Amino acid sequence: MYIPHSRYRPLNSAAATVKAHPVAAGVVVAAVLSAIVNRWLARKAERRNPPMGRFITIDGVRLHYIERGTGTPLVLLHGNGSMVEDFQSSGLIDLAAKKYRVIAIDRPDLATATGPAAPSGPRKRKVISLPLR
């Protein structure tokens, strides 16, 4: 609705808005296309590189872990910037599995762990400790 001599402008249609702001519209279209391509590439990479271990869901968090060997449990938790696959590729899991039951857990907020917002504090400790029981 347009009211003459008002400080408010009339409402424009979507087409008029795009025509008035072509750069902004182009940025939005590029961002959407980028997100679609990124998701497609991520799924393709996941198919080519399936997880090495197994998954368990704890408190709504899907947790990835690798388990090898028998005997006294040895738990491996990686730090920032790494994944359980780093333990595997270095040979550490296979070496330790000769003597121990090795359980290498991906931290719940990284790599292949998925679910609600990354757990923290007591909830994170619960999510990590439950597979060990």
| The predicted structure's pLDDT at residue 44 | 92
Mean pLDDT of 56-62: 80
Domain for residue 3, yes or no?
Answer: no
| pLDDT exceeds 50 at position 127 | yes
- pLDDT band at residue 8 under the 50/70/90 scheme: low
Determine the Cα–Cα distance for residues 96 and 92; give it in Å rounded to an integer. 6
Cα atoms in the 13 Å half-sphere on the side-chain side of 9: 4
Q: Is residue 42 located within the same domain as residue 58?
A: no
Determine the Cα–Cα distance for residues 127 and 13; give it in Å rounded to an integer. 50
Identify the domain containing residue 98 by its residue range: 54-132
pLDDT tens figures, 29-49? 999 999 999 999 988 988 887
Q: Is residue 39 located within the same domain as residue 63?
A: no
pTM summary value: 0.54
Domain for residue 58, yes or no?
Answer: yes
Q: Is residue 36 located within the same domain as residue 101?
A: no
Determine the Cα–Cα distance for residues 26 and 38; give it in Å rounded to an integer. 18
State the CATH number of the domain containing residue 108.
3.40.50.1820
Cβ-based neighbour number of residue 35 at 10 Å: 10
Count of helix runs (H) and strand runs (E) in the chain: 5, 4
Q: Is residue 121 located within the same domain as residue 64?
A: yes
